[in-house]
Structure 1
Amino acid sequence: MSSGQDFDPASMPRTDPSRWRLRSGEEGGRHVWVYLKTEEEAARWPQSVEDRYWMGLSTDAPELPKATSPLQAARNGWSFYKMLQSSDGHWAGEYGGPMFLLPGLIIAMYVTKTPIPDEWRIEILRYLANRANKQDGGWGIHIEGVSTVFGTALNYVVCRILGMDPEHPVAAKARACLHKLGGATGIPSWGKTWLALLNCYDWEGLNPVPPELW
């Protein structure tokens, strides 16, 4: 197995991007990514331009004439943008900046024994491998942030819950980063709460938070 220094996140397992569909507008505004596991399902529910765009695939959008004026440039932009409109009329958008939201979801699913789909597991591990800071292997509070105890401890836990071997280059490098930062005992209140739910941190160690601050 590659060392943490030369590990390429592109080598992580991945799902078939042509099998993902974005369902929106049917559940009170929620965005739900659905993975179609058979050719028959995929044939019955073709990918939309919106799906392909968010999956990073070719949209097969028609070639637009080169703009020769600001107005034409704006019209070209609108011609493309309207193809990304969801079926219920809104425009979806990625919310992938914070690095402390995903751990809450996965830890909550784990402690409530809610099954985590295999396709989620594959893509979450691939996402975290690509979002780890190149220098030290940790994670910050957001995707552009320096590594912190908060981001590194929680996302390391996610990797382990989802089955990553402790000696996998991503896990080993993240763990070394966490030790260098002083270990998980220095994690802020939200992190202490999630770790306590896993029985990895004593409830007596949590900082009391006045309810009015929430």
Structure 2
Amino acid sequence: MRNRLALETAPANLPQPVTPSGKDRLDAAIERAVSYLKSVQHQDGYWLGELEADTTLESDYIFYLHVLGRFDRKRVSKLAEYIRRRQLEDGGWNIYFGGPSEVNATLKAYLALKLAGDSPESQHMVRARRCIRQLGGLERTNSFTRFYLALAGLIGWQMVPAIPPELMFLPRLVPINIYEMSSWTRA
């Protein structure tokens, strides 16, 4: 009743619908997007775009090379230099440009640099350890980081959260089902 009354008493000078119509605006936006993509497409038909994020990919790569026994000193040296350059003032590493230090990214960067041969007593490593502690340490890490550390033998498997297998049988309509979890947690 209240909504009907509000509509009946609304001012008569409401703004008119904007032209062009929504479909026309969508079509124009699609045309602009296609035009842009064509303008940046390489003559061989592909697009070149860098994947820039945090340093966890580089940290993970150093770790995986170590685990697989394919540690290439020259490649790892370049990766480690990139990780060092991205260290923040407080000693940590962030998960997005301009963001604050994050415990998982910081712990992974620390481990990667240690595997790369950086001395735990060097200034940047001391600052990283201090930052990890300030961010809550191992207790504040996510399941993926714990899995990573257990795989390296640095923590026991009992510290890695396990998903009960019974969750696999719950339907999607149940609030707690595997599809409400991140893909890396399900894996």
User: With structure 2 as the length reference, what TM-score do the two structures score?
Assistant: 0.62
Task: Tell me which of 79, 85, 98 is aligned to 1:124.
Answer: 79
Structure-2 separation of matches of 1:126 and 1:112: 21
One-letter amino acid matched to 2:77: I
Offset from partner CA, 1:142-168 (integer Å, 9 cap, x none): 333211211110110010011111122
Q: Does 1:90 align with 2:15?
A: no
Partner residue in 2 for 1:140 = 94
Task: Tell me which of 118, 137, 147 is aligned to 1:183.
Answer: 137
Structure-2 separation of matches of 1:122 and 1:184: 26
Give ranges in structure 1 of 5+ residues lacking alignment. Answer: 1-73
Higher relative contact order (Cα pairs below 8 Å, separated by 6+ residues): 1
Give ranges in structure 2 of 5+ residues lacking alignment. Answer: 1-34, 169-177
Tell me which protein shows more strand as a share of its residues: 1
User: What secondary structure does 1:121 align onto?
Assistant: helix
CA RMSD of aligned residues (A): 2.3
Offset from partner CA, 1:100-152 (integer Å, 9 cap, x none): 2222222122111113241x222212211221112x01012233321121111
Partner residue in 2 for 1:99 = 55
How far apart are residue 96 of structure 1 and its match? 1.9
Structure-1 separation of matches of 2:80 and 2:60: 15
Moved over 4 A (4+): none
One-letter amino acid matched to 1:123: K
Tell me which protein shows more helix as a share of its residues: 2
Offset from partner CA, 1:69-117 (integer Å, 9 cap, x none): xxxxx9xxx5xx57xx3x7431221112133222222212211111324
